[in-house]
Structure 1
Amino acid sequence: MNNMDQLTEQYKEKFPHLKSYTECVSRTFISGLAATFITFSGTYMAVSLLKNKLPSSRPGHLNVVAAGLLGTLVGFQVVYTRTKACNNGWLAAEDRATYLRPLAESGAADSSTTHAD
Structure 2
Amino acid sequence: MNADGNSVAIGLVEYPAYGSYAECMTRAFFAGLSTFTIVFSGTFFGQRLLKKNTVFSSKKRTILASTLVASVASYYVASKRVTLCRKSWTKNGKD
TM-score range, shorter chain: 0.7 to 0.9
Runs of 4 or more off by more than 4 Å in structure 1? Answer: none
CA contact (8 A) 2:32 2:74 kept: yes
Which residue does the alignment assign to 1:90?
Answer: 89
1:17 aligns with 2:17: yes
Aligned pair count reads 89
- Relative to 1, partners in 2 of residues 1:55 and 1:19: Cα closer, same or farther, differing over 3 Å? closer
Tell me: CA distance 1:9–1:15, structure 2 relative to 1, closer, same or farther (3 Å).
closer
Considering only aligned residues, what root-mean-square deviation do their CA atoms show, in Å?
2.1
Q: Return the index of the structure with the highest Cα Rg.
A: 1
SS at match of 1:22: helix
- Give the letter aligned to residue 91 of structure 2: A
* 1:4-46, Cα deviation, whole Å (9 max, x unpaired): x6xx6434x7212111000000000010000000000000010
From the two aligned structures, give the one with the greater strand fraction: 2
Match for 1:66: what amino acid?
Answer: A
Give the structure-2-normalised TM-score: 0.83
Task: Give the unaligned 5+ runs of structure 2.
Answer: 2-6
Native 8 Å contact 2:8 2:15 kept in 1: no
**Which residue matches 1:29?**
29
SS of 1:15 mapped into structure 2? strand
Amino acid paired to 1:82: R
What amino acid is the match of 1:83?
V
Identity across matched positions, percent: 26
- What residue is the counterpart of 2:69 in the other structure? 70
Cα 1:92–1:9 change in 2 (3 A) is closer
